[in-house]
Amino acid sequence: MTKTENVLRAIEEAGNTEDKLIEVLLKVQERSRENYITENQLEEISQELEIPLSKVYGVASFYSLLSTHRRGENVIQICNSGPCYVRGSRNVVNMFESALGIKMGEVTDDGKFSLEFTSCIGSCDVAPAAKINEEVCGNLDKKKIDEIINNIREGVK
């Protein structure tokens, strides 16, 4: 699917009014294998919805659900809010980084994974937690993290 088709289809489904901006951004991102919205797409959305580009970009950069930078096929978002921090989210970061061989904010060479922070995902009861794609994983330790990564690599889930 070309980029323009992607944007036009998202607008067709969501609607072409200003209030549909977030929905359109989410749909465009969902269809992108790299889990982000390109500059070109932001410009197309700005034109189609008649919203200044600065605002489209502002909204896309505000929400951690959305990204304006290339991400992995699987997006790992580690919570950096208070409770997770207290329960050792720093270690979780180190463990993910060494397991994947990348730093926070980076994408693995094969494009399979990317690492980033998120603010609270409401899973303080199982802190430290991370969101892997649409799924929340809590009580993270080395064993769990290796298992998550292996499962994705082997296509279990």
Question: Of the candidates 126, 117, 40, 27, which has an alpha carbon nearest to the alpha carbon of residue 71?
Answer: 117
Alpha helices per DSSP H over 3-38: 3-14, 21-30
Q: Which of residues 72-111 bind another protein (CB under 8 A)?
A: none
| CB closer to another protein out of 66 and 124 | 66
Q: How far is the CB of 68 from another protein (least distance, A)?
A: 6
Interface with another protein, residue 2, by CB under 8 A = no
Interface with another protein, residue 53, by CB under 8 A = yes
Beta bridge partner(s), residue 117: 78
- Which of residues 3, 22, 31, 57 is near another protein by CB under 8 A? 57
Token pair for residue 110?
């094969």
Beta bridge partner(s), residue 135: 132
| CB closer to another protein out of 83 and 138 | 83
Q: How far is the CB of 58 from another protein (least distance, A)?
A: 4
E-strand stretches of the chain: 74-79, 113-118, 130-132, 135-137
Residues forming the site for another protein (CB under 8 A): 39, 42, 51-58, 61-64, 68, 119
